[in-house]
Amino acid sequence: MAEIGRRHLLAGLAALGAGACSRIGESESATSIFDSAESWHREAQRALAGRQRLAPEFEPSDISLTFRGNGSLTVDTADYRAELSKGFPNWRLTVTGLVDKPLSLSLEALRALPQRKQITRHDCVEGWSAIGEWTGVPLSSLLDAALVRPEANFIVFRCADTLYGRRYYESVDMIDAYHPQTIVAHQLNGENLPEKNGAPLRMRIERQLGYKHAKYLTGIEAVASLDNVGEGKGGFWEDVADYQWYAGI
């Protein structure tokens, strides 16, 4: 796994609300500043270790008989229907923003990269869960290939669908972006993604709730701040209904 830079670590911790930077600003003796820096570091390590933990993985016999669709169940455009009927020959996933080497990848190119398979449980805030086996490319390998710049603090996921007249999008910090179970999935239970589950590509962000797992994925964008993305809260549901941006489970 790619090493997470110090800036990324700090951004992730800031997002978590961890850290005691303000304490360091107060007037204290050199010793107590040193002590608080020490304990900040210890807290930081603990928080980070927690964030890097793997989500539980299950056995093939645990897989749900049906994996329901939720939110958008298709992309309501003629382009999408044409692509769907042909197996998405022209679909592209772009990797842009704060990267030295922007990418535009076909499904074929994505399928040729090293893959990860994981049987995980999806939990939706609406109160349902389903277990499925996802196959896809670790996001970390795409970020590495695109040479993400150190000033990137967040990864934004752009989607093709609109819900209530708005384009769906989501975002994560660099800790989740480089988490080994964060994958760009193109298969569910050994088959190409069904239309309702986000064909041809969707994110799996296994340590967070369902709404973070962007479906109908078209773009991955590295940014320094979320302020100018959507309405600034980092995701569709965050913008429209004040859902938590960090939806850890």
Ligand X SMILES: Nc1nc2c(c(=O)[nH]1)N[C@H]1C(S)=C(S)[C@@H](COP(=O)(O)O)O[C@H]1N2
Q: Which residue is nearest to Mo ion (CB)?
A: 124
Site pattern 158..187 for ligand X (x: CB under 6 A): -x-x-x----x-------------------
Asked if 210 touches ligand X (CB under 6 A), the answer is yes
Asked if 141 touches ligand X (CB under 6 A), the answer is no
Among 80, 154, 178, 211, contact with ligand X (rule: CB under 6 A): 211
How many residues of this chain bind Mo ion (CB under 5 A)? Answer: 3
**Window of 25-33, 52-60, 120-128, 199-207 that interacts with Mo ion by CB under 5 A:** 120-128
Asked if 198 touches Mo ion (CB under 5 A), the answer is no
Q: How far, in Å, CA of 97 to CA of 50, rounded?
A: 28
Nearer to ligand X by Cβ, of 18 and 203: the residue is 203
Nearer to ligand X by Cβ, of 36 and 244: the residue is 244
Asked if 88 touches Mo ion (CB under 5 A), the answer is no
- List interacting residues with ligand X (CB under 6 A): 68-72, 124, 159, 161, 163, 168, 196-198, 210-211, 213-216
- List interacting residues with Mo ion (CB under 5 A): 124, 210-211
